[in-house]
Amino acid sequence: KQEVTQIPAALSVPEGENLVLNCSFTDSAIYNLQWFRQDPGKGLTSLLLIQSSQREQTSGRLNASLDKSSGRSTLYIAASQPGDSATYLCAVRDNYGQNFVFGPGTRLSVLP
């Protein structure tokens, strides 16, 4: 059964720092991987989607990489801002495309 973990569970950094969030999954037979942001009490906002055949995706200050064989993905945030403070979740879709499995999230605080 697919399991997804995220390290660290929480992270606090000063504004302007570059940072990396980690996501690991146990079964490399995935269809795609998606990174989300969740603000307190809100739904999830999609940040980046990486197909299993891709190595990375970029959107603005965000860059996500995927190493399927080792079961890892990283989300890189450049020049962090207080507005980046949120919980970041990764989710993998299985190879049949039917099911998403989510990690527990990393709670990020960017201090002004």
Partner 1 sequence: DGGITQSPKYLFRKEGQNVTLSCEQNLNHDAMYWYRQDPGQGLRLIYYSQIVNDFQKGDIAEGYSVSREKKESFPLTVTSAQKNPTAFYLCASSRGNRGVFGEQYFGPGTRLTVT
Nearer to partner 1 by Cβ, of 4 and 110: the residue is 4
Least distance CB 15 / partner 1 (angstroms): 26
Neighbours of 101 (CB within 10 A): 17
Nearest to 103 by CA among 18, 49, 19, 26: 26
CA–CA dist 31, 60 (Å, integer): 24
Nearer to partner 1 by Cβ, of 85 and 106: the residue is 106
User: Which stretches of the chain bind partner 1, using CB under 8 A?
Assistant: 4, 31-32, 34, 36, 41-46, 49, 89, 91, 93, 97-105
Least distance CB 58 / partner 1 (angstroms): 16
